[in-house]
Amino acid sequence: MNAEHLRHLIESHSRGEVSTDDVLSRLKTLSFENLGYAKIDHHRKIRNGYPEVIYGEGKTAEQATEIFRRLAERNPNVLCTRVTDEIAAAILAGVPDTEFHKICRIVELRRTREEGVGLVVVATGGTSDIPVAEEASVVLESFGSKVERLYDVGVAGIHRLLSHTDMVRKANCVIAVAGMEGALPSVVGGLVDVPVIAVPTNVGYGASFGGLAALLAMLNSCASGISVVNIGNGFGAAYQADMINKMAAGVTRKEQGK
């Protein structure tokens, strides 16, 4: 329930269309809904402009499905990230109109499919980085941002990135996803005048230390305007990029919370 839904509920009650008991029942779980194993934060969209997103890893299929179903009762769009095939199958069977993005392990319910606002470019160093990049792209599109994907444009063939310079410079924010030596964000940061969000991945041989080498390289970038999220955190990058993109596009917090 967001601010507009709350206003509609109050107005419906004042017109006699909704009973007092029904209003009290809905308000009872406005803050959070206690399922025992989870406390669903229904109030988050009112506070932050974004509904709660489910982190699927470590949950049982039954837990993830029930949380997803409860969120779907109150929100037009719902996401569950880092799901297993078992969790995905359970949610798809239990909640109508859901979709499984297998490459990035996201289950999505998207009842509203308006044209995205602004522009976020999501770029990868290589094809192996696409799963993390797709996590960012799917989350951004669910949140309502326009996304352009620019995959496999790493520094080993820098001409591939330079051939798309015009598109990159039109973006309000760029997410640069890379493993190995993590050089892509530094190169992008030297080309654009907008924030660059660097996402290290665990792609690379033994000395990459599961993405730690890329993380440290990105943290030590000499290019300005770069922020860095944790290894493989496409969701976190998307959340930040969506906020930046909407501010640049002139979308107000009130409009974002609808």
Per-residue pLDDT tens over the stretch 146-173: 999 999 999 999 999 999 999 999 999 9
**Which pLDDT belongs to residue 185?**
96
Q: Are 239 and 50 in contact (CB under 8 A)?
A: yes
- Architecture of the CATH domain 117-249: 3-Layer(aba) Sandwich (3.40)
Supply 228's token pair: 């860095």
Sheet holding 77-81, edge to edge: 54-55, 77-81, 106-110, 98-101
Q: Enter the pTM of the model.
A: 0.84
Alpha-carbon dihedral angle through residues 184, 82, 99, 246, given to the nearest 10 degrees: -50
Summarised one tens digit per residue, pLDDT across range 186-234 is 999 999 999 999 999 999 998 899 999 999 999 999 999 999 999 999 9
What residues does 101 pair with on adjacent strands?
106
The residues spanned by each domain of the chain are 46-112, 117-249
